[in-house]
Structure formats: C-alpha cells, structure tokens
Structure 1
C-alpha cells in the first residue's frame, strides 16, 4: 500500500466501503475490550448503512475519507456545535495504514473546513491507548472521564479537547 494520500468528502457511493472500514477497525481495536459480539452490535448501530448515509448529508457535519493507492483507508466525522466548537465523533484508520500520518491529515483537513471553531472535543474509550497518544500528540488534553460514549451508557470515555483559538480571542 503506497502512493499519495487523497482526502475527500464521503459520497453516497462510498458508504458501503466506509462501513466496511469501520467494522474492520472496530473489531481490530475493541474485540479485546468489549468482545466481538458487542462490537458487532455497536457497529451495526453506529455504523449502519442508513445512519452513515444520513450523516453525510447533515448540513453542520463533515464526513471525510482518506484513500491510499486507490483504497479507502481512513474516515473522520465531525460537526459544528452551538458554542463555536467542533465535535469529532469518529476518526479511524485501518490498522495496516496507521503510523503514516493519515489521521493527522484527516484532522487537519477537517479543522480547515471549520475556520471559526474555537475548540474541538472528542470522546475516546479509555483502554484505547494508541488513540489517546495520537490525540495528545495532536494537541488535545484530557478533560475528564465519563460514561455514555456515543450515547451508550455501557461504554466509558475520556473526554478530550484542543483549543483552536487562544482563550479570550
């Protein structure tokens, strides 16, 4: 897998491939944490074809993908919030494409689409140490721990944020 990385909006024709990427990365990341059966249930809900299709048409949202060598290897979803912020709801890179800077490229492309955002927030499962390290390397700090990641009371989360403009600006 080589070549230049291309970042673009997810189109309706991409939804099945994006869903397959999400299912694969979720199982690779979370089967050891939650078990394969629970991961399947979560991905069937959060990453259903219908839900992903609705998400790409939301006016306050951006859903991007990254292609490498013509293959979709990563995806990101974010939406603007009422407080001039940005909520990052998803950033996943296929395991074999991790460590190549693709996640950072997706994050930077997203932030460029929301130039007025003052802060970006996200939730990450506390046992996902590689993701936490990635977000910290991208300038995020941990705010608190919580439950209810993605609206599910059975999934814990670490809330992280990154200031995009200096406080008081």
Structure 2
C-alpha cells in the first residue's frame, strides 16, 4: 500500500527515475525518444527537482510504500494568476497506474493551497488517459497553448477546476 507524503531531497533520485520511465512510456510515441530524453534531462534533472522541493508556496508529494516511490505530484501557486494553483506534475509509474495512486496524490494536492480558488493543469492533447483522469476529477477545458512549460512547439490543453474554499 502506498502512502502519500511530502517529498524530501533524499527522494529525488527515485523521483527522477520515475519521471524518466513514465515520460518514456507516455510521450515517446508523441515526441520521439530523443525529444523525451532532452526534456526529461532538463525538466527532471536533480537540480530542477531540488528547486521544486524547496520552492515556497508549493507542494511536492510522493506515494511511497516503504520500498519504492510509485508516484509523484508537484503543484505551486501561480506567479502570474491570482488565486490559482498550478499542477505542474502528476505521474505514476506505469506498473502502478489505475490503482488509485494518482487520485490519492491529487486529493492531497487539492487541499494544500487554502488561498487558491482554482487549480490549472496543462495536458498534451494526445494524452487521452491524462485528459480522462482530469475530467473525471472535475477539470474543464478553458483554453490551449502551443508552448507547454517553456517549450515552444509542445501543444497543451489547459484545464481548470474550481476549488472549494
């Protein structure tokens, strides 16, 4: 059984491996192995993950069963949009998907931002499993972008969920 807890620096190597495996399983068919290697090398490096762990107005969670990290989530208050929390990452290792780990991480993240009125997430349009997950959890499409994160040419659907105060 996995328990959701706050991540620490000692978790980051396992989180980096989880993100690499999950990203290849999810995005290789969309972007190709080389592009996924480039993005995970930049976005999921140990320094990038460490910056997330120590970021103010943010929450970095892992699902841990005592032996391994099965999932992770990271969200932070928006620097540009008032009363908005942004869900930057929510990933579960493929072998543990559809067991409620993503749901449990998300449920915890939803409660971490008492000043937020809404939560936003950007999802690759071809990632039908992620789109279905977020829609099931109350998100609605509010827009789109041609530049997911800091990466031009990576389209994303912008979803938003109103949070209960």
TM-score tier by shorter-chain length is over 0.9
1:9 aligns with 2:1: no
Local SS of the residue matching 2:145: strand
Structure 2 residue ranges without an equivalent (≥5)? none
Deviation of residue 70 (structure 1)?
2.5
For normalisation by structure 1, the TM-score amounts to 0.93
Deviation of residue 68 (structure 1)?
3.1
Deviation of residue 55 (structure 1)?
1.1
User: CA–CA distance in 2 between the matches of 1:57 and 1:72?
Assistant: 19
User: CA–CA distance in 2 between the matches of 1:41 and 1:122?
Assistant: 22
Deviation of residue 69 (structure 1)?
5.5
User: CA–CA distance in 1 between the matches of 2:13 and 2:24?
Assistant: 17
Deviation of residue 115 (structure 1)?
2.3
The runs of 4+ residues in structure 1 deviating greater than 2 Å are: none
Q: Which residue of 1 aligns with 2:43?
A: 46
RMSD: 1.2
Deviates more, 1:150-159 or 1:77-86: 77-86
User: CA–CA distance in 2 between the matches of 1:125 and 1:55?
Assistant: 21
- Aligned pair partner of 1:75 in 72, 89, 95: 72
Number of aligned positions between the proteins: 163
Q: Which residue of 1 aligns with 2:17?
A: 20
User: CA–CA distance in 1 between the matches of 2:29 and 2:65?
Assistant: 28
User: CA–CA distance in 2 between the matches of 1:40 and 1:159?
Assistant: 24
Structure 1 residue ranges without an equivalent (≥5)? none
Deviation of residue 105 (structure 1)?
0.6
Equivalent runs, 1:133-144 vs 2, <5 Å: 133-144=132-143
User: CA–CA distance in 2 between the matches of 1:111 and 1:38?
Assistant: 31
